[in-house]
Amino acid sequence: MKVMILYYSETGNTEKVARAVAEALEPKAEVSLRRVEEASEDLGEYELIFLGTPVHALGPAKPVREFLERLSANLEGLCFALFCTYSMAGASRTLDFMEKKLANKGAKVLGKFAVFGAFKTFFKHFKKGRPDEKDLAYAKEKAEEIFSALQR
């Protein structure tokens, strides 16, 4: 079984989650991990595709939005799992936006999850230290859950 994990990450949080997902599934599948900017639009050989983004202004980051546009208009037969990292608000809005874009093109979304990620501004450090070990364990659990749903 071939699994592709695509992600965008500016400060490393979403990349940590993407790597945790890879670690969880490596014993069970042939896993590839790639930044979304370097991803091919031809994903037909993968049984499951994870797509991860940080929440930017209550939505997916621009490279992820661009990738969703770039994908073919017919994604029938492809299965996705979505994840995001965020520090305050907008996680479900972000995941729903991505799901709608993919569903409109005919793809299936098997599951989605969100994890806190630190965000340092000039005057405040939101969710410092996140994602932590517990967050990454949660991401692994979710990834395994989605992966087993696919096999059923």
Ligand X SMILES: Cc1cc2nc3c(=O)[nH]c(=O)nc-3n(C[C@H](O)[C@H](O)[C@H](O)COP(=O)(O)O)c2cc1C
Contacts with ligand X, residue ranges (CB under 6 A) = 9-15, 54-58, 85-90, 117-119
Provide the minimum distance between the beta carbon of 70 and ligand X in the complex, in angstroms, as a whole number: 20
- Give the contacts of 5 (CB within 8 A, at least 6 positions apart): 18, 21, 22, 31, 32, 33, 34, 49, 50, 52
Q: Which is nearer to ligand X, 67 or 78 (CB)?
A: 67
Tell me the Ramachandran region of residue 57: left when phi exceeds 0, alpha when psi lies from -120 to 50, beta otherwise.
left
Provide the minimum distance between the beta carbon of 47 and ligand X in the complex, in angstroms, as a whole number: 25
Q: Which is nearer to ligand X, 15 or 109 (CB)?
A: 15
Residues 37, 61: Cα–Cα separation, whole Å: 11
Q: Which is nearer to ligand X, 29 or 36 (CB)?
A: 36
Provide the minimum distance between the beta carbon of 113 and ligand X in the complex, in angstroms, as a whole number: 14
